[in-house]
Every structure is written in C-alpha cells, then in structure tokens.
Amino acid sequence: MSENRQHGFFALRHYLVLAVLALLFVGLVGRAAWLQVVQQDFLLDEGSQRQLRVLTTPAYRGSILDREGNPLAISTPVDSVWANPRQALLDRDGLRKTARLLKLDYSELLKRLQQRARKEFVYIKRRVEPELAKQAATAAEGVYLQREYDRFYPAGEVVAHVVGFTNIDGVGQEGLERVYQQQLKAVPGKRKVIRNRKGEVVENIAQLQAARNGEDVITSIDMRLQYLTYRSLAATLRRFNARSGSAVLLDAHSGEVLAIANLPSYNPNQRRKSSAAARRNRAITDVFEPGSTMKPFTLAAAMDQGLFTASSRIDTRPGYMRVTGYPIRDFRNYGVLDLAGILRKSSNVGAAKVAQSMPAEALWQAFRDYGFGEDTGVEFPAASSGYFSHYSNWRPLDQATMAFGYGLSVSVLQLARAYSIFANDGKLVDLTLLRREPGTPVPARQVMKPETARQIRTMLEQVVGPEGTARKAAISGYRVAGKTGTVKKTAPGGGYLDDRYLSVFAGIAPASDPRLVMAVMIDDPDKDKGYYGGAVAAPVFREVMTQALRLLNVSPDAVEAGGQLALGPLQSEYPGGRQ
C-alpha cells in the first residue's frame, strides 16, 4: 500500500511539472504573439529610437581675407568631446582617464554627468585638438566625438581690431566677424543614421538637410601695409612712453582702408586674457579734438566763399588776440602771414581771424560738407560720428577756437577721410573696409572747389618743408603734403591739462599726384621725450608711407636739372617751400 501511494505521489509530481512547463510554453507563445501582432509598431518604433539618430553635419564659417587673399580669420577642424551619461557612468575608471587627458576635475565631471543622467548628450569639453580628443574618447565607454570648426586668426594682434572674433558657437562678437555675421555664418546639415551600441555610425539612412558653408569676406586691408603701420605705431609708443595710438592709411581715390592699427591691442586667439579697453578699435570708435589739423579746412572754407585768395595776407601781430576776454596765442609773433604761412607756421591767431571773417552758419556748413559730424561710410560696431555742435549754439569764442581744432571732435578715420578731400580735388569719398573691384563706382560728392583743394594741397607741402612744423614727415624723392597738430588733453572736470597732449599728423603722398592718405594720433606721449605732432606723429607717417609708396610701385616725383624736386605753383613762390 505504501509503495502504491509513493508511486502515485511521484506520478502526480511528474504531471504537475509537465503542466507548469506547458503553461510556461503557452505563456511564451502568447507573449510572442502579443508582441509580434499587437505591439509590433510600438516595438519597431522603440528599436528605431535606440538605433536611429539625427546627426549634425558640420559646416565651416567663411574666411576673412585681406585684399590679396591672405587669411585674416579662418576655420580649422577640431573635435568636441561628449558623453552619453548612462553609458559613461558605468565606466568610472575610463571616465577618470578622460578627465585627466582633458585636464578636467574628475569630481566636477562626475557630478555634471550624474545631474544629467537622463539625457543622452552632454558636452564634456568643446573645441579640442583632434588627436587629444581621440585619446579622450577612446579612454572610456560612452564618450564620443563631434566634429566642429574653431576660429583661428593668423595675424593675431596686428589686425585684431578690424577682424574681431566669434564666440564658442561661431557667432561674431566684434569687428567684421560681427558686421558680416550673416554672410560668414555656416549652416550645419542634418542626416539620419543608424548607430550601434557603442555609438558608432554603421549606416547612413538619409540626408535631411545639406550643410552650407559660409561665404568669404574680402577686405580692403593690405597686410603688408598693416604690418608696417602696426610696427611703426608700436615703436613710437615705446619710444615716447605714450598711452595709446591709432593710425589709418587710405587709398585716396577708392576710399579703401588699406591699414588701420591701434595700440594697445590684443590677441583674438587668446582674448580671455585681454581687457575691454585693449579690444576697442580706437581709430573708429574714439574721438578727440583735432587741433591744428583743422586749419586747412578753415582756410578752404574762406577761399571757397571768395573771402580770401592764396595771396591774401593776415596780420597776426603781436602773436596773440582776445576773443570775449579769452586769449588766443601763437608760439611766437609771426607778423603778417599769407594763407600758406598760416599753415606753415601753424598760426592760431591767423586761423581764428580767417574764421571770424565768415558768418557762423557758413563755417558750420562748410565743416559739415567736409564730413565732420557724420558717418564715414564704414559699417562697424560703435563707429563714432564725432561731435560737432550746431552753429546756433556757438559763442564767438567757439567759432574762433574751432578754426584751429578745439570745440569739435573727430575719429582718426574721420580725419583721414577729410584729408582725402585735398587729395581728390575737392571730392569727399565714402570709405570702406571691403575691397572695391577696379571700375566699381566710388560714392563721392564734390564738397570743395577743385582749385581750392589743389591750392590748399600745395600750401600743405610747405608744412613739410624746411620751415614748416612737419619736417620729419618728408620723404626722399616724393612731394608730401600734410599738417601737424599738438592738442592739449581735456581735464576730467572740464578745461584742459597743461602738461598732457595728443600728437597728431595727417598727410598726403605724393602731393603731385595723390595716391595715399594717412592720419596718425598718439595719445599722451611723455612730455620730456617730445610731444609735438611734428616730432611724434609725423615720423610714423614718414616711415609707413616711405615703404608703402615703394610696395605699391608709386613712381617718385620728377627731378629737375639741379637735382631738386619739381615744386607746385604756390610752393615755388616761398623760400620756405620744400627743396
């Protein structure tokens, strides 16, 4: 009996096991059927989400080039390192190696990934040199690379103020990078791919959007002349222990800016180390009182109105005058001067008397016509139009001091543009930082009588002559026209400082057939080392212009039989003319 009961127990257990296995089999079959039939679409979608990805196809930003095609700003390939937190957090040892290679704090990286554990994409470090990025990505599971382009500026600080820079996302922040953002910017593409569990692309499915590279911008800058200008400016600031300086070199006829240099400067490749003051394009954004460089425009306005001629004479004795009780002085008593003599000796009294002979409205309108108080045509962030008040606000003293450059303000770029009027026989051109193709019409307007512009230009040659204030601007073999300015700096609370100056020079070469115009401003040179415009700023003009004329193959002026340069019609009348 006991054996039968035991046999029945084992048989029952056997059937029970078979029943359980049968139920499991039926359950599996049913589950499979359910998944294959009822949830087929859902599972396919889930699988696709784990394998299909939409990736960004990188595009590169357009280059910024000088007029000869030399790169000023280019995009270089780099890799950004990113991670899938859920994968990377499983490989702590590898993640530690990645952090060490990228010089990151491991604890901070770990915390960042843990905080974003539900995401599938987290940047670890952007814009990494490709070989280093590859080592960092292979060190840990769940760490990958994304190709991007970094901005590189080959000329560094030499042309930084013109070019500007972009942020880490390739958006222009300053300079031409900002002005021409829409033209330069790249539009990344999109493509659908299949990735394996390691994140590797195993198949391209479709191109959703084609990548579009940015367009190049060709500037008017000539890097040969830019280097010359920057180098000369830097040497002058060191020599005279000056605070800052700016210089602009123009093509007289096309209005193209060939060089524009500022100091202090900064390296756009390492801009985090620079200050806001160093990044300012002072030649375009900063303004100053131009001093005696305004005198040629005062004389031109009077000549255009028929009040004076080149042979008119002004009595500047005894070397000073008073306007509403305020003294206006010359360096010494120059006696009776013609208009050329007023410029040659830089007579404040002579210029003020000429200005007083005109109605205030007439002088104001002339200065407005010459471009003072208006844009130069250059599109640039924070470009200044200067300060030039309406004549209705002038007092008699204002009209007198404006004649020699006090009471109004200009930028270095504005000053250079104004002197191009004398180079262009009375036409004022709009300036540009972009290259103008030969034959392209240049926006310009006639603002001065051609004969007046030519006569003033010839008078300005005497300023560079042996008896003028700009002898150090003279260039061997070429006739040069220009004017110096030595300006007292304004005091913080108003008025002027007695021992702080701006040294200014603006000039044209060759004066016989103008090709180039240049303006230079040196801020706060050491008084003990020299501060006059003719001693500080004029030599910068001479050094740069000497090389520029040769590089541009500008022929020297004709030499007479006696070995002297052929002189202009007015210059030959005066013993103080250039010999």
In sequence order, what DSSP letters do the residues of 515-569 get, joined into one string?
-EEEEEEEES--TTT---HHHHTHHHHHHHHHHHHHHTTPPPPPB-TTSPBPPPT
505 SS3 class: strand
φ/ψ (deg, to 5) at 96 = -65, -40
For residue 384, indicate whether it is catalytic.
Answer: no
Token code pair at residue 36: 């294959």
In sequence order, what DSSP letters do the residues of 417-478 get, joined into one string?
HHHHHHHTTTEEEPPBSBPPPTTPPPPEEE-S-HHHHHHHHHHHHHHTSTTSS-GGG-BTTB
The dihedral built from the CA positions of residue 248, 254, 256 and 258, taken in this order, carries a sign that is negative
Of 254, 292, 347, 411, which one is the catalytic site residue? 292
The dihedral built from the CA positions of residue 271, 275, 276 and 280, taken in this order, carries a sign that is negative
The amino acid that residue 430 corresponds to is D
- Beta carbons within 10 angstroms of residue 44's beta carbon: 10
Are the beta carbons of 533 and 486 closer than 8 angstroms? yes
Which residues have C-beta within 8 Å of that of residue 532, sequence separation ≥ 6? 469, 484, 486, 503
Which ranges of 241-287 does DSSP label H, i.e. alpha helix?
A: 282-285
Distance in angstroms (rounded) separating the CA atoms of residues 468 and 344 = 5
- Beta carbons within 10 angstroms of residue 106's beta carbon: 14
Q: Which residues are catalytic?
A: 292
